[in-house]
Amino acid sequence: MPEVDCLADLSASRYDSPMQSLKKERVSIMVTDAIKEIINVENLKPGDKLYSEKELVKKLEVSRSSIREALRMLEVSGVVKVYQGKGVFVSDPSEQSHPVKNWVVENAEALREHFEVRLLIEPHAASLACRFAEQKDLEALQSCYDTFVEKVKTGDVIESISSDSAFHLAVAKATKNRTLAVLMRTMDQTLNEGWYASLHAPGRLESSIAEHGRLLQAILDHDQEEASQAMEDHLRNALKDIQHYFGTL
């Protein structure tokens, strides 16, 4: 039976070179695609057990955190189901009327905690970015924003989520506070469910364009109060949309 032996092999058909692709796209997105490809190539059916995290790390030659992030994305999408202590199994999409909604309901407490932490950290980060961002940071923020807008227009939710989180990470990096930047990166790698859930709510991607634009302009203007408020409003709106659309939290 044919197999996908490594992430580089899978990406070769989509990009000119694997190293170039890593610069264009977050590893977790590539891993997500690679796992989907494994399911297709090896003809795995609903209920079949997928490789373990350890086996996927070895097979795709990426970090365990990237594997876990990809599996979370796939679980929210209804592609796989992760059972603690048992492993990862292929799901049956036809049995799920709304896999994202099902996931949100099952993980409501984790999502509440996710937004609680972000509301504590990110408005302050936006304020600090106004004070300490250098020209290269402002250019990076503008680039991240432009990429996010482009991805939303293509309708690719997964790449839009990647671009959304990249924008938030750029804000954290602009603070020049290394501890804060590391904390945000860790959250992005291990607590990304809030991004994933909120951006599946109808209209949230489009609303995020305007909200990111407001935040970006405030940072460009070095308006600390407006930047902090823009970030808080953005996060609260995302939470509100989850509550309204998914009927939970």
- Do both 212 and 233 map to the same domain? yes
Chain-centroid distance, C-alpha 192: 5
- Do both 139 and 42 map to the same domain? no
Domain that holds residue 59: 7-95
Give, for 81, the enclosing helix (H) or strand (E): strand 80-83
| pLDDT for residue 122 | 97
- Do both 87 and 115 map to the same domain? no
CA dihedral 213, 218, 222, 227 (to 10 degrees): -120
Please, how many CA atoms are within 13 Å of residue 192, restricted to the half-sphere of its CB? Answer: 28
| pLDDT for residue 130 | 98
- Do both 232 and 115 map to the same domain? yes
- Do both 56 and 110 map to the same domain? no
| pLDDT for residue 7 | 56
User: Within a domain: residue 191?
Assistant: yes
Amino acid at 83: Y
- Do both 74 and 190 map to the same domain? no
User: Within a domain: residue 1?
Assistant: no
User: Within a domain: residue 51?
Assistant: yes
pLDDT tens for the chain, 249 residues long, are 444 555 545 444 433 333 333 344 467 778 988 999 999 999 999 999 999 999 999 999 998 888 988 888 788 777 888 888 899 999 876 665 566 677 777 778 888 888 999 999 999 999 999 999 999 999 999 999 999 999 999 988 778 888 898 999 999 999 999 999 999 888 876 666 666 777 778 889 999 999 999 999 999 999 999 999 999 999 999 999 888 887 766
| pLDDT for residue 161 | 83
| Helix/strand/coil for 84 | coil
Residues 6+ apart with CB under 8 A from 51: 38, 59, 88
How far apart, in Å, do the first and last CA atoms of the chain sit?
44
- Do both 63 and 141 map to the same domain? no
Asked whether the whole model's pTM tops 0.75, one would answer no
Q: What is the pLDDT of residues 144-178, one digit of tens each?
A: 999 999 999 998 877 888 889 899 999 999 999 99
- Do both 26 and 138 map to the same domain? no
- Do both 181 and 146 map to the same domain? yes
List C-alpha distances in Å: 238 to 26, 119, 141: 22, 11, 20
CATH code of 83's domain: 1.10.10.10
| pLDDT for residue 57 | 93
| pLDDT for residue 24 | 40
| pLDDT for residue 29 | 77
The total number of residues written for the chain in this structure: 249
Name the domain count of the chain. Answer: 2
